[in-house]
Amino acid sequence: MKVKDFVQERNPRDQVQNRLLVFAAVFLALYALILTLAPAVRLRSWDADLRWTHWIGFAAWLGGTWLANLRLQRRLTDRDPLLFPTAAFLTGWGLLTIWRLDSGFGLRQTIWLLVSLAFFLWLIEKPGLSNLLQRYKYVLLFSGLAITAMTLVFGTYPGGTGPRLWLGCCGVYFQPSELLKLLFVLFLAAYLASSQPIKTGLIPLIAPTLVLLISAIVLLLIQRDLGTAILFTAIYTVVIYLATEKKRILGISALILLTAGLTGYLTLGIIQTRVNAWINPWKDATAGGYQVIQSLIAIGAGGTFGRGPGLGSPSLVPVAHSDFIFAAIAEETGLVGSLGLLGLIGLLLMRGLRTASRASSSYQRFLAAGITAYLGCQSILIIGGNLRALPLTGVTLPFLSYGGSSLLIAYVALAFLLNASNQIDEQAEAKKPTTAYLIIAGLLLASLAVLGFLAGYWGYYRSRDLQTRNDNARRVINDRYVRRGAILDRSGRIITASTGEPGNYTRTLVYPPLSPVVGYSNIYYGQAGLEESYDGYLRGEAGTSASELWSNHLIYSQTPPGLDIRLSIDLTLQEAADRLLFGRIGAIILLDASSGDILAVATSPTFDANHLAENWQTWASDPSGPFLNRAVQGKYLPGASMGVFLLPAAEDAGIDLSKGPQSLDQHSLAGSAHCAFLPGDFKSWTQTIANGCPAPGYELLNALEGGLNLFSARLNWNRDPDLPISRAPSPSTTSAFSTLLGPVISPLQMALPAAAISTNGEMPAPRLVTAIHTPQSGWVALQPGEKKRIFSENAAGKTARALAASRKPYWEAVSEIRLSQDKYAWYISGTLPQWPGTPLALAVVVENADAVIARFIGQQMMDRALNP
Amino acid sequence: MSGMIVLVLRLLLAAALYAFFLAALFFLWRQFKSGENNHLPAGGRIAIRNLLDEQQQPITFLKTVITIGRDADNDLILDDDTVSSRHARLFYQQKQWWLEDQQSTNGTFLNGQAISTPTVVISGDRVGCGRIDLEVIIQTAAKLGD
């Protein structure tokens, strides 16, 4: 007689379990291998420090799981074959993720895993133990409560300051509320199994358990361990419902949780913070909502396929190894991984419920149901917190999160569950599971499905907006690994560039006085200036082909190399302008009058984008406002200088200018305004306006049809010119200049119509960025903006010649503004129409100075620009 | 280069994850198809002993259907000329083991009586296939637990 060998020797359960464990082991080995290679991928070179330490964790998992598998096959021949491989899969995944986040925590968790597996092995050798525990239900529960109460006196927080929920010393800590959770399940199962047959009626049956539940919850509330308190209520509800099959229990429990939550919200500060951070985290993104938002950003960064193990930045989420391990996994494995993870949890829960519905005794049945409820509710609670489906509660994700107590208790619970699944009741086997089990299974699966849907919503649908948020440090980290484009001046000299090796590129502004224009891209202070407005090109996201972008994202989880941009700035003239303003408060702007190219834009005082961290507070609180770019953001009254633009307007309107102005000084409610210099010819419109006499301007304004509208309609003084550097930190000094006295304008707004006088009456659009260096077609020039004719050619030329400075190839005009608190002087100038070179236009404003100084600075600047 | 290698590894990683699911689902489907019956509790397992060979230990089966015959693809192979290639089968149904003749040449006997329809067997019954005599031992649930 012979027997087909495999039929006799192999239990089909063992085959299934072995096969599943092989897949899990292959997954984890691949995961560990990718983690090892990840540094090479990030640097795009084999010359990288490959990671090896996490293989300790993998080896411990492999050895421990293999041993446990052998013992299970020997001892529990009829166990459910899906439970252990699923739990082992989750454990290994969590363990490697913890290693990836922090190898110190990884090593500790590896040791805890070995301890947990030792307990697990001991428990499966003693299948009768859980039945023995049934007899000591009260002892167990009260000792659990007592140990938990001890934390009120002796509690510590292992990581420093935080909720004092741990007991222990010398590096080994235990969280008693984890133990209490399991003891509570054991007690409930034991109590219901012994009391249900003798007590009729719902109230007499559950009254004693309610007392214990409330005392446990009060204890947890005193400790501020809200998550565990919610969990106790959920476990209790599920077990009582499965035992009694009365649907109203679900309703009543939901009502109680809602009422308790609402009362807590109105009375307890901590609940209020948590709930507010849940309802609207965006409102408070730096404090209460910070964790949730960082978690969502991480999930969004993962997208569909994930950034790859070791290739993301999940450690940016606070406590990623514990509370936010789901977000960490979602970032690195994407929707593909997070849906798989939810599926694994679902599989574990369904097999747990199946075990419960067929267990051999009612005690085992309630025990298995309670354990499933504990694993299920805790997983849903924390994953829901990560996905902003639920308020954040500081519970762990069973099997995955860092935490010795949590892992140990999960493995003890798993051993009880496996023992229960080994003793299936033959009568129950044929029986269909009752409605109550189906409802609980449906609720658990529906919750997981909602979580899966939300993971897709944040990871796919909302991914884009989450990634572009300023508090997403991944962009700045990316700049350390991929060269960010350089910013060059018009002749190709470097203004700012990233230097170094992949992995530690640093951004250096070679010419710091341009900080207000170039801005910064900083991990703590976000982005500003051109670094912000041209971020797309500088980091290679714009101007690169879609396939290039996609392959870089998929393979390296990085952006392509950045594109260089060229500015209109001439560094030589820029240096001259900065030197002229040194020690003063004011601004200089020099334009190419025909193209609108900004050749120099100086503001003083200024800041240094290379040293933001050391000086941010000083600069932000400095009343002179170093962050303010006075040349384009400063708001000043034009004063008598507006007359310069009224002259050609009057010329065009056909007003007779031969008679001359009636008065020179202006007297109004705001005080008296005088000429900056005494004009040589009191009766000449141009002489009086060039010397800053205020009255002639107002006289022309009254004579002109439309009056003040001229400024907004023709000179566009009512809106800021379109320049890509507007969003610097909002300055505090602008408010000092009242808008009641007329339009307030920036030096740039003064220089633009000045350019029209110097050319042929056409006002150019300002331009700062002239070309972008694309990988396909080299330097691509950006088109200048459209010009706008504001004066006739004749009127512009006539005005320029009339304002001409003596023995200079340019015209000029000065004015002085004296208000009760502020005093400043303008100098505007431009080349004469016959000038053979590039036409230029200049505006200078100097605060706390008179017109002599403004004119000196302006003339120096013009002379430098015209005689290089 | 490293990027491409890791990309391939990542694809394999996703494949391993979903292979795990497929294997689990395959198990569930098979369990569902066989009406839960291949989930045989220890209390119903059958062991068969060859009465003609005193030294041989009884062989315990975990399956719910055991085919007996001369062919190599039977669960229990009886290499004897009087045994048909597919002789008989034992199957578990309604919590009992049944013996059924598979139109064998020399007939199947239960405690000496030839059978023509599926017949319930109990522990200690003798099953004859041609010249071979087998003893059926069915484990009871009482052996379990403590």
Cα-Cα-Cα-Cα torsion B135, B136, B141, B144, nearest 10 degrees, comes to: 50
For residue A670, what pLDDT band results from cuts at 50, 70 and 90? low
Q: What was the pLDDT predicted at A53?
A: 95
Q: Which residues of chain B does A312 touch, with a Cβ-Cβ cutoff of 8 Å?
A: none
Q: What is the mean pLDDT of residues A311-320?
A: 90
Q: Choose among A44, A81, A344: nearest Cβ to B27.
A: A81
- Is residue A10 pLDDT above 70, yes or no? no
Contact yes or no for B20 and A27 at CB 8 A = yes
* The two structure tokens encoding residue A814: 């000065």
A88 touches chain B (CB under 8 A): no
| Lowest mean pLDDT segment, chosen from A102-106, A384-388, A431-435, A814-818 | A431-435
Q: Give the highest mean pLDDT range of A85-89, A697-701, B131-135.
A: A85-89
**CB-based contact, A146 to chain B, within 8 Å:** no
Is residue A30 within 8 angstroms of chain B, CB to CB? yes
Position A523 confidence tier, pLDDT thresholds 50, 70, 90: confident
Mean pLDDT value across chain A: 87
Residues of B in contact with A3 (CB under 8 A): 59, 75-77
Q: pLDDT for A682-733, tens place per residue?
A: 778 888 888 988 888 888 888 887 777 777 778 888 878 888 775 444 444 4
Cβ-defined contact of B17 to A82 (cutoff 8 Å): no
Identify the DSSP state of A599: E
Residue ranges with strand state E in A136-281: 167-169, 172-174
Task: Give percent of chain A with pLDDT exceeding 90.
Answer: 49
Partner-chain contact B79 A2, CB within 8 Å: yes
* A576-619 tens-digit pLDDT: 999 999 999 999 999 999 999 999 999 989 999 999 889 999 99
ipTM associated with this complex? 0.81
Residue from A5, A14, A27 whose CB has the most chain B CBs within 10 Å, to mutate:
A27
* Cα-based angle B128, B129, B131 (whole degrees, multiple of 5): 90
Give the closest of A34, A340, A347 to B18, CB-based: A340
Contact B13 A27 (CB under 8 A): yes
CB pairs < 8 Å spanning A and B: 127
Contact A78 B41 (CB under 8 A): yes
CA distance linking residue A531 with residue A539, whole number of Å: 10
Going by C-beta distance under 8 Å and a sequence separation of 6 or more, which residues neighbour residue A179?
A144, A147, A148, A405, A409
Is residue B146 very low, low, confident or very high in pLDDT (cuts 50, 70, 90)? very low
Q: Considering only CA atoms, which of A198, A863, A190, A317 is closest in space to residue A573?
A: A863
Gap between the Cα atoms of A803 and A651, Å rounded: 14
Helix (H) or strand (E) holding A33: helix A12-43
Cα→Cα distances A401→A329, A356, A398, A693, A857, Å: 11, 25, 6, 76, 66
Please report, in angstroms and rounded to a whole number, the separation of the first and last CA atoms in chain B.
Answer: 61
Cβ-Cβ contacts under 8 Å, A12 against chain B: 38, 62-63
Residue whose C-alpha is closest to residue A413's, from A182, A76, A175, A75? A182
B146 CB neighbours in chain A (<8 A) are 127-128
pLDDT category of residue A76 using cuts at 50, 70 and 90: confident
CB contacts of A86 in chain B (<8 Å) are 24
- Rounded distance between C-alpha atoms, residue A405 and residue A409, angstroms: 6
Contacts of A126 (CB under 8 A, 6+ apart): none
Give bridge partners of residue A83 from the DSSP assignment.
none
Residues 6+ apart with CB under 8 A from B72: A4
- Hey, what amino acid is at A745? I
- pLDDT at residue A864, as a whole number: 93
Tell me which long-range contacts B18-27 makes (C-beta under 8 A, separation of at least 24). B18/A340, B19/A23, B19/A26, B20/A20, B20/A23, B20/A24, B20/A27, B20/A85, B20/A89, B20/A344, B21/A340, B21/A343, B21/A347, B23/A16, B23/A19, B23/A20, B23/A23, B24/A20, B24/A82, B24/A86, B24/A347, B27/A16, B27/A81, B27/A82
- pLDDT for A79 beyond 60: yes
Cβ burial of A285 (10 Å; 0-12, 13-18, 19+) is middle
Contacts of B50 in chain A (CB under 8 A): 1
**CB contact at 8 A, A183 and A141:** yes
Given this model, what pLDDT does residue B67 score? 86
CA-based nearest residue to A380, from A326, A426, A330, A430: A326
Contact A4/B145, CB-based, under 8 Å? no
β A172-174/A167-169 pair status: antiparallel
Structure tokens at B70: 């001369």
Confidence (pLDDT) at A729: 46
pLDDT tens per residue, range B42-98: 567 778 888 777 777 777 777 778 888 888 888 888 888 888 888 998 888 777 788
Structure tokens at B26: 């395959």
Residue range A433-488, pLDDT digits in tens:
678 899 999 999 999 999 999 999 999 999 988 888 878 888 888 888 999 999 99
Q: Specify whether the CB–CB gap between A358 and A428 falls below 8 A.
A: yes
Q: In this structure, which amino acid lies at residue A725?
A: I
Please report the pLDDT score of residue A109 as a whole number.
Answer: 96
Q: Cis ω on the peptide bond leading into residue A605 (within 30° of 0)?
A: yes
pLDDT for the residue numbered A742: 65
pLDDT at position A625 is: 84
Q: Which of A46, A336, A424 sits opposite B2 (nearest CB)?
A: A46
Nearest-CA distance from A38 to chain B in Å? 8
How many other C-beta atoms can be found within 10 angstroms of the C-beta atom of residue B22? 11
Residue A674's Cβ-count burial label (10 Å; 0-12, 13-18, 19+) is: middle
Mutate to test the interface with B, among A11, A13, A15, A23 (most CBs of B within 10 A): A23
Asked if the Cβ–Cβ distance from B144 to A423 is below 8 Å, we say yes
For residue A223, how many other CB atoms are within 10 A of its CB?
A: 20
Sign of CA dihedral A336, A341, A342, A347: positive
Rounded to 5 degrees, what angle do the CA atoms A643, A646, A648 make?
125
Tokens of A603: 């503001």
Q: Which of B2, B19, B145 is closest, CB to CB, to A40?
A: B2
Q: Do B10 and A89 touch (CB under 8 A)?
A: no
Instruction: Mutation target for A interface from B1, B7, B10, B27: give the one with most A CBs within 10 A.
Output: B10
Distance CA B145, CA A75 (A): 11
What pLDDT band is residue A738 in, cutting at 50, 70 and 90?
very low
- Model pTM score: 0.79
| Cβ contact, residue pair B2, A31, below 8 Å | no
Percentage of chain A exceeding pLDDT 70: 94
* Rounded alpha-carbon distances, angstroms, from residue B21 to A12, A14, A153, A341: 18, 17, 47, 11
- B60:A8 CB<8 A: yes
CA distance A126 to B39: 23
CB contact under 8 A, A34 and B7: no
Cβ pair B23:A556 closer than 8 A: no
Min Cα–Cα distance to chain A from B122, Å: 18
Q: Please give the structure tokens belonging to residue A842.
A: 């200049």
Residue A372, both tokens: 């499933």
Task: Write a three-state SS string for A385-438.
Answer: HHCCCCCCCCCCCCCCCCCHHHHHHHHHHHHHHHHHHHCECHHHHHCCCCHHHH
CA A661, CA A650: separation in Å to the nearest integer?
Answer: 13
Q: What is the DSSP letter of A457?
A: I
Residues of chain A numbered 347-376 and touching chain B (CB < 8 Å)? 347
- Residue numbers in B near A305 (CB within 8 A): 10
For the stretch A808-853, pLDDT in tens is 899 999 999 887 777 899 999 999 988 999 999 999 999 999 899 9
Nearest residue to A304 (alpha-carbon basis) of A331, A323, A325, A326: A331
Chain A residues within 8 A of B17 when measuring between CB atoms: 27, 336-337, 340
Q: Produce one character per residue of A747-760: b if its CB has 16 or more CB atoms within 10 Å, e if not.
A: bbbbbbbbbbbbbb
> CB distance from A555 to chain B under 8 Å?
yes
Say if the Cβ atoms of A4 and B3 lie within 8 Å: no
Q: What is the least distance, in Å, from the CA of A4 to any CA of chain B?
A: 6
Residue among A37, A337, A344 minimizing CB distance to B2? A37
Task: Of A430, A427, A372, give the one whose Cα is nearest residue A241.
Answer: A372
Binary contact (A337, B61; C-beta < 8 A): no
> Is B21's CB within 8 Å of A45's CB?
no
Distance between A556 CA and the closest CA of chain B, angstroms = 6
Which residue type is seen at A452? G
Provide the CA A590 distance to its chain's centre, in angstroms: 38
Query: Could you say which residues from 408 to 467 on chain A have a Cβ atom under 8 Å away from some Cβ of chain B?
Result: 423-424, 426, 429
Q: Which residues in chain A are closer than 8 Å to B77, comparing Cβ atoms?
A: 1-4
